[in-house]
Amino acid sequence: MVSSERPLLEGVTVLDLSTVGPASRATRLLADYGARVVKVGPPPGSVAAPQLPPFFAYGAQRSMRKVKIALKEPEGREAFLALAGRADVVVESFRPGTADRLGIGYEAVRARNRGVVYCSTSGYGASGPRSKWAGHDLDYLAVGGYLAMTEPAAGGRPPIPGATVADAAAGGMQAALAVVAALFRRTATGEGTFLDVSVTDGVLWLMALAVDEYLATGEEPAPGHDVLSGRYACYGTYRTGDGRWLAVAAIEAKFFANLCEALGCEKWAPHQYDDDVQEDVRSALAAAFATRDRDAWVSELCATDTCVAPVQSISELATDEQFAFSSSLVEAKSDRHGSFRQVGAVLAGMTPLEEPVQVPDEDATHTEELLVEAGYDGSRVGELRDRGIVA
């Protein structure tokens, strides 16, 4: 299925200097909203080999173009600035200060393009006592309080989350939202801006319910502190008779009463938030869930206002009926890797993808085409290619 509506970010050009992490998550979002994203990387042998994701990651770079430029070379820097002079957005994820040292930072780009939205993503922001710290997703979740508020693993060890929450939500979505907001303001002022995206600030925002409670009351939240962190039996996970799991989130009294009735635990419905008997309630629910297999409970409970859902594995969600109905998983095709499935353009307002989605070869570039668009003569591009400055 293909939408007849124009993509929301059609006509927006983004230069992306990242390879992995929050910046790449952000530009994946921008591309799926219709922006023309150009991935900028180094020619072979010009620098130490960057960390490259597997071919299937980040949507296999579908709908993206690629140039390879030696940014440390003066002529390479000039080629990048020529591209940036025609772009709407530049996204980078170097260590703070690196882009300026290369001569491709905000001020250098703004001198060519006053309307550019320049988005720098880093773990802790461009300034401050942690700005030079190296880190990855788990570090940012640790510093931002996410790990401390998540139920610990065996032995009290802070857990390793099953998704890169900091990269995707705290960093990538924050960066994409900030870019869109800056583009909106530019329609009125004509001016671009510099966006300093700190991933840990994004984690802090994700943790605002707990942090604001502490700041207002002085009471420090922890796992088991309130209904959303496992204090009550109505909000938790339960093992079923076949060893699989259900998630129960029956916060409202009517949903919990429905659940208790279905499980034969009616006596506990009035005690949903009675702290003195929570272990008894939890034991009763656990014993009831253990009498049947997960999918039997799913058939009985999930459509009957109990706020129960199956804990699905990745292989299960790949065949899930809801995702199939919404065409969330699409067929992709690569000349090198053949056909495979991938998560599609699933967020609200994204234009559905035409299947099969043709994804680019990892080594393919659009360097000559894009530099000619930026004003270079084709023979000049050939000369730069021969000298290893572009590829």
d(CA 205, CA 188): 28
Residue type, 31: A
d(CA 55, CA 339): 12
d(CA 1, CA 62): 17
d(CA 186, CA 189): 5
**Four-residue CA torsion sign, 18, 22, 28, 29:** negative
DSSP-assigned letters across all residues of 154-186:
GGGPPP--SS-HIIIIIIIIHHHHHHHHHHHHH
Which amino acids are annotated catalytic? 167
Task: Report long-range pairs for 254-258 (Cβ below 8 Å, ≥24 apart).
Answer: 254/305, 255/305, 255/306, 255/307, 258/304, 258/305, 258/306
Note the residue count of the chain: 391
